[in-house]
Copies of this chain bind each other. A is one copy, B any other.
Amino acid sequence: MNDLSSEIDDIFHSKSMAIFGVSRKGGLGNVLLQAFIDQEFPNIFIVNPTITESNLEILGIPVFSDLESIGKPVDLAICSTHPKYVKDIIIECGQYGVKAVVIFSAGFGEKNEKGKKAEEELLKIAQKYKMRLIGPNCMGLYCPKTGLSFFPALPTESGSLGFISQSGSIANILGFSCMVKGIHFSKSISYGNAIDLGFNDFLEYLGYDPDTKLIACYIEGVKDGRRFIKLVKKIRKPIIIWKAGITPAGEQAAQSHTGSLCGDNKLWDIVFDQYGVIRVYNLEEMMSMIQAFINPIPVKNHRVAIISGPGGPAVSSADACEMNNLILAELTDESKKKLQNFIPEFGSSTSNPIDLSLQATFDPILEKNAYEIVGRDPNVDMMLIYLTMLTPRYKDLIKLQEEISKPIAIATAIDVNISSDPFSNYIKRSFIHIRAKKVPNIIKKMNQKGISIHPNEHIAAKALYNIFQYYNKSSKSNF
């Protein structure tokens, strides 16, 4: 880890914190405070100069009129006040020896020229005190391991996903989207206007961070393109990037959102392609690729076998594979013969795509046997499985995967997270289903074995192709 990354690592391991912007009447500052309380961050102090009575507590946290009154070291400050107070707070933090400040407050460079000048001033002050800044106009840092957070009720479990976002709200939304899929974070960073620490700094850090196995990013623009390219070339972990502001309308929106210059979209495509960056276009795709790359299985070829209970989706999945440059595997004669032995004679198909027929809805052994035979076929490099909904057969798949180790993407017609909602009382008489409460943990188990779950066959096929690409085109793969 280089010096800059060590410095960032220190910020993530802050032991004490002062929050500016918490008030008796509530507001966003109090929401932020609740976030840290939920994560049981060790030492939190509220600083509010308008509160003068002693021994006051808000949400059980002591309130001080200034840093000096705390009388203990403060590693990190969170600033969530009106922008007009930020400068004085930064000075106070610098004087008190705070190591870093997260400036949650907005109303700076993204707003106008005056805001840009104010940012320059803040940076100068911070540099004077050798203090690092994150933001302004950001959510800051989430790190369940050390108790950092930016929103109440985010999971306290740690995971291996590192996320860097230019948009605070996306950092937030992704936290909850991942939660319902059983995916947890090593670190999540919303860096906002990045007047000091910015995208490339955090990207480099997550490249070193041993807790981070997969890096996902939301960006509108990147300030130092050359450094970015050097980093994606160097980092030997999968990197997924959602780059917004790719049309004139989007670029204009990005300017008022984060003051970003978005750059030429074709250029981004070339860079992403050359260095094996996985590109996504919305949160849904992001969730799919995170699942596919949280523990991807190295693969040399891209011959895919499709297994489907429903026949129509088998056809559409074949389309999806071809549209995503995958090759439909030709099963060995031995596999075909074995399949013929148990797949129903009618309304089915034993050649790829394998159609298990309607019978699969009632006879779970069909699914299990098909996984076994097709999964072990030497002509099959990866599998795309289409299900009406997730069934308890996922256990067989996990068990099989321990022996075959091949990338598997599942597309489900009905979202796995809704399978046992109240209205599924209707459904459960008709389908073999799983209780929704168990779903996040099931998805987690599958993801850990290189099995990902997707909302449609096209994203599933794209995930499989991306894995193949990552291990074969990208110069930086570990394969």
Contact = CB atoms under 8 A, between A and B. Distances in A.
A479 interface: no
A346 B168 contact: no
A75 B242 CA distance: 58
A284 B458 CA distance: 10
Nearest to A284: B456
A355 interface: yes
Nearest to A389: B176
Nearest to A455: B284
Interface residues of A, number: 96
Given A414-B173, A421-B180, A165 B312 contact: yes
Interface in A214-272: 218, 220, 242, 244-250, 252-254, 256-258
Interface in A435-479: 436-437, 439-440, 455-458
Contacts of A421: 180, 417-418, 421, 436-437
A11 interface: no
Contacts of A440: 423
Nearest to A437: B422
A348 to B, nearest CB: 8
Contacts of A62: none
A169 B311 contact: yes
Interface stretch (A48-56, A313-321, A391-399): A313-321
A249 to B, nearest CB: 4
A427 interface: yes
A70 interface: no
Interface of A: 28, 31, 83, 105-107, 110-111, 137, 151-153, 155, 165-170, 172-173, 176-177, 179-180, 218, 220, 242, 244-250, 252-254, 256-258, 281-285, 306, 309-316, 318-323, 328, 345-347, 349, 351, 353, 355, 357-359, 362, 388, 413-415, 417-418, 421-424, 426-427, 429-431, 436-437, 439-440, 455-458
Shortest 7 CB-CB contacts between residues of A and residues of B: A167-B312, A169-B310, A250-B319, A106-B347, A107-B346, A247-B322, A106-B346
